[in-house]
């Protein structure tokens, strides 16, 4: 009985208020003021689809002792066109080189397509676990409707053939080259077509055909669907498709459009996780629809295990962990929408030594240090000699992962001279609760927010951009532990 056995999510802490966008553009488009009451999630300068995928996966895998056998990463905003993006996630999670990976991209239904592939592969394969991650950080032109509609976020779902929270009834997919929008190879922004055409021919035409096909294929009636999850049309697609398909209007899920915006190919998964965190009850049937050059329809039935399941932070916890952002200029700068003066300190060459990255990938991408087998002392980075002055054992260290270890701030600085997209640059020494020490950058921090002794946790973020060669370098940073973080325990 294949299905979803665990789920987790991540939404960036920053939320750009629509009012900030409206205030900037109402001088030429007064109608934008009508949409000024919502907000959209917004990546910090050191976040992208890779870093969000890692955070969503960490949230999903809390309490899971066995590593996934394969990983699917779905996104249309991956940083590398010719590098296995999912491989970076595997290294960051320290899943091991035997993990099979796949990047799924080039369509807004990439998330549901990846989930359907994983579920089909898991059916009849006991013992294997497949991790499906949808993550999206799309760019939008300044002043465009997409700037208001889009949002950044990620969701991770663990798929297996035993003990699911959601039993997979089956899926159905149709492929139609219906171009509601497109982005050419060398373009940064989507080119959208007319909204009415997309609504009438796409959502009201193609999607109901796929829904009807799924119901007939698996012997279900429209009135047996308790929850219809489908992103699109500023949160109104599910209602339209429900009406056209004979599904009850109250089954249509709202879409989180005003809370975080549309997270693209990840949004159907984000909406599903949000629904599983409170709306879906055991015994109810859930239909998940992904739309984009065709349509994916996945059917599930919630099992009794869902009632006792306790997610980690989840989508709801991530939405609660918010900081309002009113600076529209900061949003443009973080997304490289405007060309801004970096100054002389920002002109350094950030070339990455790929040989060093490979040899040190355990520490650089996975935050793997060492632990002395003689005395048990942990240290990072891992060396040949134990740092314990009472031990100093030679060549007795084994790999030890610091990723999930909690820590406290030992010292910190806020530097306005060091170049960063979000000054000041916060950095300092932290002491892990297990005794290890580490010099690190702090992120998601406002001036005056941190103090010595404050608890922190490690997050995977962008360390630097090599703009000359188009390379992104990742590393681990510390963020303050806030009351809304890690709100769930399993």
Strand 285-291 relative to strand 227-229, pairing = parallel
Q: Are 346 and 467 in contact (CB under 8 A)?
A: no
Q: What share of the chain is helix, strand, coil (3-state, %, to 5)?
A: 30, 30, 45
Q: pLDDT at position 488, please?
A: 43
The mean pLDDT of 25-54, rounded to a whole number, is 93
The mean pLDDT of 128-134, rounded to a whole number, is 97
Residue 264 has pLDDT above 90, yes or no: yes
C-alpha–C-alpha distance, residues 123 and 482, integer Å: 40
Q: pLDDT at position 4, please?
A: 98
Q: Are 434 and 405 in contact (CB under 8 A)?
A: yes
SS3 assignment, position 459: strand
Q: Are 72 and 86 in contact (CB under 8 A)?
A: yes
Residue 268 has pLDDT above 50, yes or no: yes
Residue 479 has pLDDT above 60, yes or no: yes
Peptide bond between residue 424 and the one before it cis (omega within 30 degrees of 0): yes
Biggest CA–CA distance in the chain, Å, is 74
- pLDDT tens for 16-26 read 999 999 999 99
Give the confidence band of 487 by pLDDT, cuts at 50, 70, 90. Answer: very low
pTM: predicted TM-score of the whole model, two decimal places: 0.96
The mean pLDDT of 208-225, rounded to a whole number, is 98
C-alpha–C-alpha distance, residues 58 and 45, integer Å: 21
Q: Tell me the chain's radius of gyration from C-alpha atoms.
A: 23
The two tokens of residue 198 are 């997309």
Residue 233 CB burial class (10 angstroms; 0-12, 13-18, ≥19): buried
The two tokens of residue 465 are 């951009």
Q: pLDDT at position 484, please?
A: 55
Q: pLDDT at position 70, please?
A: 97
The pLDDT > 90 percentage for the chain reads 90
Give the end-to-end CA distance of the chain in Å, rounded to a whole number.
Answer: 23
The pLDDT > 70 percentage for the chain reads 99
The mean pLDDT of 329-352, rounded to a whole number, is 89
Q: pLDDT at position 489, please?
A: 44
Which residue reads 């579920």 in tokens?
119
Q: pLDDT at position 490, please?
A: 45
Calculate the CA 116 to chain-centre distance: 19
Residue 318 CB burial class (10 angstroms; 0-12, 13-18, ≥19): buried
Give the confidence band of 485 by pLDDT, cuts at 50, 70, 90. Answer: low
Delineate the domains of the chain, giving CATH numbers in brackets: 3-183+190-334 (3.40.47.10), 358-367+402-480 (2.40.50)
Of the candidate ranges 23-27, 424-428, 456-460, the one whose mean pLDDT is the lowest: 23-27
Residue 1 has pLDDT above 90, yes or no: no
E-state strands within 266-349: 285-291, 294-302, 323-325
Across the chain, mean pLDDT equals 95
Torsion angle, alpha carbons of 309, 118, 475, 399, to 10: 80
C-alpha–C-alpha distance, residues 68 and 320, integer Å: 29
C-alpha–C-alpha distance, residues 341 and 336, integer Å: 12
Q: pLDDT at position 483, please?
A: 72
């Amino acid at each position: 009985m294949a299905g979803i056995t665990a789920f987790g999510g991540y939404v960036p802490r920053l939320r750009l208020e629509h009012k900030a966008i409206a205030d900037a553009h109402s001088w030429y488009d007064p109608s934008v003021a009508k949409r000024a009451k919502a907000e959209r999630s917004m990546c910090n300068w050191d976040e992208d689809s890779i870093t969000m995928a890692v955070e969503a996966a960490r949230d999903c895998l809390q309490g899971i002792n066995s590593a996934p056998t394969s990983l699917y990463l779905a996104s249309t905003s991956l940083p590398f066109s010719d590098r296995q993006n999912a491989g970076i996630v595997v290294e960051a999670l320290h899943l091991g080189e035997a993990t099979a990976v796949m990047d799924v991209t080039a369509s807004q239904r990439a998330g549901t397509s990846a989930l359907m592939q994983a579920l089909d592969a898991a059916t009849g394969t006991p013992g294997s676990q497949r991790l499906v991650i949808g993550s999206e950080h799309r760019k939008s032109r300044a002043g465009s409707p997409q700037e208001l509609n889009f949002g950044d976020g990620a969701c991770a779902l663990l798929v297996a053939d035993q003990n699911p929270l959601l039993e997979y009834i089956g899926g159905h997919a149709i492929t139609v080259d219906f171009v509601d929008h497109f982005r050419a190879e060398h373009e940064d922004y989507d080119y959208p077509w007319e909204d009415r055409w997309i609504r009438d021919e796409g959502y009201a035409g193609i999607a109901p055909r796929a829904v009807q096909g799924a119901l007939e294929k698996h012997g279900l009636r429209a009135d047996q669907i308790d929850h219809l999850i489908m992103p699109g049309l500023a949160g109104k697609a599910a209602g339209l498709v429900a009406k056209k398909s004979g599904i009850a209007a109250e089954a249509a899920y709202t879409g989180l459009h005003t809370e975080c915006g549309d997270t693209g190919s990840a949004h159907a998964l984000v909406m599903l996780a949000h629904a599983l965190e409170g709306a879906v009850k055991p015994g109810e049937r859930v239909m998940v629809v992904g739309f984009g050059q065709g349509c994916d329809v996945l059917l599930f039935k919630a099992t009794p295990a869902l009632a006792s399941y306790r997610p980690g932070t989840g989508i709801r916890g991530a939405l609660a962990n918010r900081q309002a952002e009113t600076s529209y200029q900061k949003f443009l700068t973080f997304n490289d929408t405007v060309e801004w003066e970096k100054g002389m300190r920002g002109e350094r060459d950030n070339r990455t030594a790929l040989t060093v990255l490979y040899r040190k990938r355990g520490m650089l991408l996975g935050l793997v240090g060492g632990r002395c087998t003689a005395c048990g002392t942990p240290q990072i980075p891992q060396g040949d000699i134990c740092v314990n002055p009472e031990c100093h054992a030679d060549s007795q260290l084994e790999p030890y992962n610091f990723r999930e270890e909690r820590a406290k701030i030992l010292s910190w600085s806020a530097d306005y001279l060091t170049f960063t997209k979000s000054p000041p640059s916060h950095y300092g020494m932290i002491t892990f609760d297990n005794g290890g020490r580490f010099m690190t950058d702090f992120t998601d921090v406002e001036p005056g927010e941190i103090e010595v002794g404050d608890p922190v946790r490690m997050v995977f973020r962008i360390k630097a951009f090599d703009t000359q060669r188009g390379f992104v370098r990742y590393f681990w940073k510390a963020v303050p532990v806030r009351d809304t973080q890690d709100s769930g325990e399993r």
